[in-house]
Structure 1
Amino acid sequence: MPTISEEAGPLDLLRPLRLLAYSAFYIIPTIFYSLLAFNFQPFYSFDNFKEAWFARFWGFFGPLSREYAAPAVMPLLQNSASGVCLDIGPGSGEWLYLFARANNKDITKIYGVEPNRGMHKLLRENAVKAGLGDVYEIVGCGAEELGAKAGFEKGSIDTIITVQCLCSIPTPEKIIRDLYPYLKPGGQWLVFEHVKTKYQGDVVAYWQEMVNIVWPHFFNGCDITRPTDEWLLQAGEWEEVSLKAGNGEGKWDTIPHIIGSLTKKRS
């Protein structure tokens, strides 16, 4: 798999089809192993099945996705998180090695906010592998429920981390606005996310809209047409903004990214 830093060309328009095929392949193993384990929960509703399906698929594809994006994400996250952190939608924890205590000595606590309980076992294992077993706590609710269900207080978080998760969170614009107050003044929001292509009017914009008709069903609700970078900028007052497009990404990328950090304005 090529890295995200490599320059894209017209053939890159076909990349989403390959990723959709990878996901579709895991429908059959999900059915087979659920029946083999006499686990009928996935068959109670289509939502339950999609959750089980994606958990199994991501156990395979998550590490590949990490390898692909690592050249862009490592400089952003490694040694950047500090204090009390909110890790939003960490999935199976494929990025947790970047928070290893040896490289991030200023981290005192990480809350992994992951509503998909099918991911929790592997997430916990990856936290332990990263040497974070004593500071990493899984919060099994959505980001929109942090106050009501998890009891988080406003202004209590030093670092918010969102890595390829805001594309699949329900009502993302509202949640981004809701998360902003949890940051302390001077706190950082580290972000690596799918975003709507900036090449509106070009072929890629129409292709992105077409792909997105089916994409969310195969990738746990992921919507690749969200202007997440714009929503982040509008969430509140920022003292410093350092956001850029994915390395090497351009007019042929159907699944472009935004990478960087935002620092909340100090009082």
Structure 2
Amino acid sequence: MTQSKPNKPAPLKVSTAEKGPFNLLRPIQILAISLYFMFDTILHLLLTFQISTFLSISAFQSAWFARFWAFFGPLSAENAAPAVMPLLQNHARGVCLDIGPGSGQWLYLFQRANNPDITKIYGVEPNVGLHPALRESARKAGLENVYEVIGCGAEELQTKGGLQPGSIDTIITVQCLCSIPTPQKIIKELYPLLKSGGQWLVFEHIKTKYQGSFVGYWQKAINIVWPHMLGGCNTTRPTDEWLLKTGDWKKVNLYPGAGEGPYDTMPHVIGTLTKK
């Protein structure tokens, strides 16, 4: 069957150190790209006779986001790399839980040459449309015998995933807690899985600290449409505060994104939390 091969929009590159009012326009750019891929997905489904997908809003949104993220995921990773690479490379160890890995754009950082202490990685990705790309990323990183894809939600890891409390050495959440439907509940359910002395590696969107200024209101306005067009991603969650309150931490090393300030609609929290 013939598949659509539309022209791709021009790559979006925004420096992690970029400052100034024009940074406020970045979410508009991303929304425009997502809108492009909505029409791209409609055309693809029609040309490949996958008409049944239109009968389910969730199925269509899943297919839409999978096509959008296959294009935008690598660009997002390129922009985030200066912050994520030092966080992930050489820090993961033992049995790892990779939450919401998407298409696996960060798996190259877990190559055994850089992380010889990794024994197992569970990739928890509920969007089955991303599984083929995720498994291919694991293969390219030489992790096919280490990386296991689990196709359930993070809240089902003990019931469907078979993971036991205190069985995980490293939890990895990179740009995923912003899109999980019940993040506070998930954080509380992930915490018991972490061993004493285990680390939680974090790179997440968070609610801006500049509440009361224009960016605070702008972030809330953008968030009216953002979750519907970006796979459920929410820009206004105080994820750093939820993580700090979820349990006892022996060591906390969290910091903001480089150059982020009063013009950033999608600021980040980066760093590690070590369980007592």
Query: Within the alignment, does 1:135 sit opposite 2:149 as a pair?
Result: no
Distance in 1 between residues matched to 2:219 and 2:23, nearest whole Å: 12
Distance in 1 between residues matched to 2:275 and 2:51, nearest whole Å: 46
Cα RMSD (Å) of the superposition? 0.7
Distance in 1 between residues matched to 2:131 and 2:166, nearest whole Å: 27
Cα distance, 1:38 vs structure 2? 1.9
Does the residue aligned with 2:195 lie in a helix, a strand or coil?
Answer: strand
Residue aligning to 1:10 = 21
Query: Within the alignment, does 1:47 sit opposite 2:72 as a pair?
Result: no
Kept in 2: contact 1:189–1:262 (CA 8 A): yes
Mapping of residues 157-168 of structure 1, within 5 Å: 157-168=168-179
Query: Within the alignment, does 1:192 sit opposite 2:203 as a pair?
Result: yes
Residue aligning to 2:266 = 255
Residue aligning to 2:121 = 110
Structure 1 runs not aligned, ≥5 long: none
Mapping of residues 1-267 of structure 1, within 5 Å: 1-4=13-16, 6-265=17-276
* Cα deviation code 1:168-209 (max 9, x no counterpart): 001100110110000000000000000000001110000000
Does the residue aligned with 1:222 lie in a helix, a strand or coil?
Answer: coil
* Cα deviation code 1:86-137 (max 9, x no counterpart): 0000000011111111100000000000000000000000000011011000
What's the TM-score, normalizing by structure 1? 0.98
Does the residue aligned with 2:76 lie in a helix, a strand or coil?
Answer: helix
Does the residue aligned with 1:111 lie in a helix, a strand or coil?
Answer: strand
What's the TM-score, normalizing by structure 2? 0.94
* Cα deviation code 1:201-248 (max 9, x no counterpart): 110000000000000011000001000000000110000000000111
Kept in 2: contact 1:3–1:67 (CA 8 A): no
**How many percent identity over aligned positions?**
67
Structure 2 runs not aligned, ≥5 long: 1-12
| Over 4 Å off, 4+ runs | none
Structure with more relative contact order (C-alpha pairs < 8 Å, separation 6 or more): 1
Cα distance, 1:31 vs structure 2? 1.2
